[in-house]
Structure formats: C-alpha cells, structure tokens
Structure 1
Amino acid sequence: MEAKSSSIKKETEAMEEAERVVKKQNVTMAMEVFDCPVCSTPLRPPVFQCALGHFVCSPCRDKLPDSKCQACSGVVLKSSCYGIERIVESILVPCPYAEHGCTDMITYYLKGEHKQACPHEPCYCPEPGCGFAGTTAALLDHFTSQHKWPTTVFKYYVSFDLIAKPGMHVLRAQDGNLFLLNVSSPESVLHGISLVRIQPKVSELSRFGCSVGFSCWKGHYQLSSLDAITSTSLSDGLPKSSFFSFVPKSSAVLTVTIDTELMCDINDDELEEEASDDDDSYGEEDGGEE
C-alpha cells in the first residue's frame, strides 16, 4: 500500500512539473517591467521596494536621496524583496544571437554579459545597403559569391602581390583569419589603402601587422607599414579615415606582407620551412584580375 502511495505521489509530481514546463513555454511578458525604473537596466538580486511596491535595484537604492522612492517619495525598505528576486532569477530569454547558432537560454538580467562573451556574435558585410551578417566563414562565402570580391589566400610573413584596383580585396590567412583590404576610389590623385581583420570579438591589442610596398617607375620603391591591424566585426561598416598607405591612380602592383605575434611560439626552423614552402595555393588570387 505504501509503495502504491509513493508511486501515485511521483506521478502527481511529474504531472505538476510537466504543467509548469507548459506554462513556462507559453508565458508572454513585457520585459521592461523587470527593469529598474531609475537606471532602466534589468533588475537583479538584491532588489528593494518601497511600501507601495515600487522596485529599485541595489546600486540605485544606495544613491536615492534620503532613501526616498523616486516614484512616490516613500521610504525604500532596507530588506530585499525575496519574491521579485525569485521571479527575475527564473526569467529566461534566448540569446540575441540565436539566429546565428546560439541555443543558450539566459537569465534575463545576465543577457548583457552573455552577449559580450557569446561565440556566436556575427560579423557584418560592409557593403552599403547589404545587411548580411554571419560567421566569418559565411561572410567569406558571401563576399565571393554575392559581391564577387577577389580573394587571395596567403601565409604570414610571405609577401604576395595585388593590383591596386579600387574596391575590396578579401585576404584569407592559412589559419582561417579573414582580412579585408580596401583600395579607395581616388578623390585626388591617390588611392587610399586600408586593412582590417574581421573578427567578432575585438581585443584591445592587435596581434597582426602589415607592410605594403609598390614601385611607380624604375628606381622608385615606397614602403608603408601598419603596426597594429584593427580588428572589427564591421557592425558599423569600415572604420573611417583608416588609410595607412596611398598609391597613384595607375594600377600599381602592391607587395603585401602580413605578420602575426602568434608565430612567436614557433621555432626558427619551422618558420624557415614554412617560408620556403612552394605550395601554389598561397598567394593565389581567386576571382581577381586575369
């Protein structure tokens, strides 16, 4: 009899849990009601309230003059509100990058922290009016198939040539890193050259550098260097005024070399072996000028 009672109890608990799941899946809320009315950020424990039930987050409570509620001027209680804390801890929302592959459900007040660390943050096409966003791999395919931008595969520390034709040039490193070299249409007598690394997570210090050399006539050679290549998701388009080299209108041949600090961990023998590799796939243009 006792075993039967235990079985019925488990079945009841299972049904109640299933009902809670169904309810959770069908709840619709205006999420701003769970934001602090003072700073407009999501409420997170500890949460405080006044006698009339107005909520405020802990940092804002500490700044309230005389601990008076901003909405009704009532005194904000010193003890936190356990009920609302349980609610805000139970609210789960999808990642802002769910459409780009993230399946995580995040506590509402932690969505900002998750967004900053999420590996599914997309990169963006800088072409005006395009709006495409995706991983760097998807972006590479988009550049070549949709915009027909020429692509060059290269090795770090190994020079390769490009024609200084106005427009975008996609550069793909052997380790998968993606760079975009832009040769601007000249407003004066010169083409401006810019270079960025396409990367969703932007680090403060660039690990990459670049040099560009070209010759316009016999006996002439000019070399420009970029010590730190900017990393960007291109969410705001190409960085403004980022030209580091200028070439004449004529279709000069650019000799480009990109280096990286990641190579510091490789010994000299390995570096020399890579530099002397005759693999024809590197430094080879796909979709470039014939």
Structure 2
Amino acid sequence: MDGLVDACKVPCVYKSFGCERYVDQHSLAKHSSRCVHAPCYCYECTPPFEGSPASLVHHLTTPSVTHYWPAAVNIKYETCYLFAVSESLEDHRRLLVTEEDSSIFPLAMGTSKAHAARHPVSVVCVRGNAADTDMRPVYRCVLTVTAPPRYEGALAASITLTETVPSCSVPGNVDMEDAWYDFHPKMVHEDSKEVDLVICITKSNVHH
C-alpha cells in the first residue's frame, strides 16, 4: 500500500494559481514549499487577498481599495529610471513591473518607528515562497540619490548603493527598519519637497 501511495501523483496545491505539475504524494509538501506559483497575499483588506503576483498588481492599483498604490510603472532590466519621491509620504510608493517577465518590485519610502526623523527607502521583489531563494533568479538594485544643486560641494552630489533585492510575498509587511538607505534632509528639494531617486534593477542567473 505504501508503494501505491508513493506512486500516486496529485496536482500541486497551487493549481488554481497556474501550476500544472502533478507530483508524487510524498513529494507534495516539498514541491509546495518551493513552487514558483505560490500566491502572494494582502492582509490589509477584508477578506485577505490571495493570488498571483500579476493579480496582486491589479488588486493594489484598483482605486476602490483603501491601500491604493499609484498605477504600476513598466521598467526594463539594466535601465535607469528617475523617481521623484515625496518627502511628505503622501505619494511615496511605486509598483515597478518589468516588461521582460512581469516581475514586481515595490519601491517604498516610509518612516522609522525607532527614529521618527528617518525616512528609509526600500525595494523588494514580490513573489510567492519568498523564503526559498534556491533555484530562483537573483535581483540587484542600484539606488542613486542625487542632492539638489545648491548643496553640491557641501556634501556628496550623489550617493549610490548596490544591494541584493530581498523577496517578499506580502508587500504590506516590508520591514522599513531594515531598509537600505535613510536620506539626508539636505537631499530634499526645497521647491518640490521631493527626493530624486534613480533606480536600476538587474537580473542574474539562479543560485545553483
């Protein structure tokens, strides 16, 4: 009987989200923990949203939801894009969607619970089974923050950081305490009250 059970193939638990694999019963748990079709979640709404990354973009950018993000911005890998992010945090989020494979990268600026004066900036990749990084593409982001012209010479004209992009299956749970960069107040443009961020995302081969 054990042999018959092991030989029995069952559909992936994420079949409704696009996985067409049938796997051995004894391998189902392992497959499910690494399946690229695992859904993403939004717990800010009632009932909680559960769906593919593509449907999550539609959910977050629908004006009727309370946590509405601005319309998604199409980008290409290895291409630099300038984003003017509001210091007031009223317009501080962008959903970046790559044209090559529709990967989703929320760009967010927030506040620190521990340090009220901090304005951390973070970029993450939205994908199901975010904790599983084996056999998955590795993304890196080059973030450049440019100072207003009046401060050139007084501090660095720009600051550039290159970081590996972490994964997240729940965009609302991004930990801003562990964000990449806290911008200097002098980086804010007086007239617009915005910070100029230049973002470039690259994609490399899988880990193994």
The answer to whether the aligner puts 1:254 opposite 2:196 as a matched pair is yes
User: Which structure would you say has the larger Rg?
Assistant: 1
Residue 185 of structure 1 aligns with which residue? 111
Letter in 1 for 2:103: N
Q: Would you say the 8 A contact 1:224–1:245 is kept in 2?
A: no
Unaligned runs of 5+ in 2: none
Partner residue of 2:133?
A: 203
Equivalent positions of 1:24-103 (< 5 A) are 84-89=1-6, 93-102=10-19
**Which residue of structure 2 aligns with residue 174 of structure 1?**
99
| CA distance in structure 1 between the partners assigned to 2:84 and 2:44 by the alignment | 21
* Residues 182 and 193, structure 1, Cα contact 8 Å, conserved in 2: yes
Amino acid at match of 2:151: G
Q: Contact 2:108 / 2:121 at 8 angstroms: preserved in 1?
A: yes
Flag the 1:179–1:130 CA change in 2: closer, same or farther, 3 A: farther
Identity %: 21
User: Take 1:255 and 1:236, find their aligned partners in 2: how far apart are those partners?
Assistant: 21
Contact 1:214 1:252 in 2 (8 A): no
Separation in 1, partners of 2:124, 2:145: 17
* Structure 1: segments with no counterpart, 5+ residues: 1-83, 264-290
TM-score after normalising by structure 1: 0.52
* AA aligned opposite 1:97: Y
Q: Is the 8 A contact 1:215 1:252 kept in 2?
A: no
SS in 1 for 2:123: strand
1:219 paired to 2:151: yes
In structure 1, give the amino acid aligned to 2:141: G
Check conservation: 1:178, 1:197, Cα contact below 8 A.
yes
Cα shift readout 1:178-209 (whole Å, capped 9, x = no counterpart): 10111113552221111101123643573322
Deviation digits for residues 84-129 of structure 1 (CA, Å, limit 9, x no counterpart): 3234235555422133233555432111232144342112236476
Which residue of 2 is the match for residue 283 of structure 1? none
CA distance in 2, matches of 1:95, 1:239: 31
What code does the residue aligned with 1:170 have? L
Identify which of 159, 167, 172 aligns with 2:81: 159
Q: Specify which of 139, 142, 149 is matched with residue 69 of structure 2.
A: 149
Contact 2:9 2:24 in 1 (8 A): yes
Does the residue aligned with 1:115 lie in a helix, a strand or coil?
Answer: helix
Computed over aligned residues only, the root mean square deviation of the Cα atoms, in angstroms, reads 3.3
Asked whether the 8 Å contact 1:95–1:103 carries over to 2, the reply is yes
For 2:48, the equivalent position in structure 1 comes to: 131
User: Paired residue for 2:166?
Assistant: 230
Confirm or deny: 8 A CA contact 1:213 1:256 kept in the other structure.
yes
- Give the CA deviation at 1:158: 2.0
Question: CA contact under 8 A between 1:180 and 1:196: conserved in structure 2?
Answer: yes
Higher strand proportion = 2
The one-letter code sitting in structure 1 at the alignment partner of 2:69 is W
C-alpha displacement of 1:132: 1.6
Paired with 1:222 and 1:113, the residues of 2 have a C-alpha distance of 45
Residues in 2 aligned to 1:169 and 1:149: alpha-carbon distance in whole angstroms = 7
1:6 maps to what in 2? Answer: none
- For 1:135 and 1:180, the matched residues in 2 are separated by 15
Counterparts of 1:227 and 1:233 in 2: how far apart (Å)? 19
Q: Distance in 1 between matches of 2:97 and 2:31?
A: 29
TM-superposed CA distance for 1:246, in Å, is 1.4
Contact 1:125–1:237 (CA under 8 A) maintained in structure 2: no
TM-fit CA distance, 1:232: 3.0
Q: Secondary structure at the match of 1:193?
A: strand
Of 229, 234, 242, the residue aligned with 2:178 is 242
CA contact (8 A) 1:154 1:160 kept: no
